Amino acid sequence: MQFTETIYVELIQQLFNREVEMEIEMDRFSKKFIRDIKIDHDDDLFLIKVYEAMLTTIKDYDSERFNASKVSSFLFISERTLHRRLNEKNISYLKIKDEVRKKLSIYLLCSERYAIKEISHFLKFNSPASFVVSFKRWYFCTPKEWENINFYNDQEKIKTIT
């Protein structure tokens, strides 16, 4: 094997390992998130399935975006039926999508394993800039500012313990 082929193989292995790590993180998050959703929505089976479908479609690395069409096909219903049934429960698809992205973004930032660019790509944002705009809307600071605040708080905790 030539030198360039070795580098190429190593690069593919690193990328694959990164995707596997993200998959494991996603599974951990999904279990906790669905448990919280069951509590928040009084075990509403349809809403739980919508959230599960959304989490499953967001993990799809082949897809650039996740949308109502993908989620509805996962649930074996039409997109119109998905919107109608959500409307009956006074919730919109976009609100659920936003909630999933919001909570997952913090979870991934807390893991301190992923760059903002990776998180924005994983959450299917068009660009890291659009992720930062959404993050600021959710938390009133940028992901980088949030990381710095979180790092500072962790350092303060360490000081009080020692």
pTM: 0.74
Report whether 124 contacts 63 (CB < 8 A). yes
CATH label, 3-126, candidates 1.10.1200, 3.40.630, 1.10.10, 1.10.530: 1.10.10
In angstroms, the CA 58 to CA 79 distance is 17
Quote the tokens at residue 53. Answer: 């479908």
Give residue for tokens 């350092």.
155
Express each pLDDT in 64-104 by its tens digit. Answer: 667 898 899 989 999 999 999 999 999 999 999 999 899 88
State residue 137's pLDDT score.
95
State residue 20's pLDDT score.
65
User: What residues does each domain of the chain span?
Assistant: 3-126
Which burial class, exposed, middle or buried, applies to 153 when counting CB atoms under 10 A from its CB (0-12, 13-18, 19+)? exposed
Q: How many CA atoms does the CB half-sphere of 154 hold within 13 Å?
A: 8
The mean pLDDT of 13-34, rounded to a whole number, is 68
Express each pLDDT in 100-145 by its tens digit. Answer: 899 889 888 888 888 899 889 888 898 999 999 999 999 999 999 9
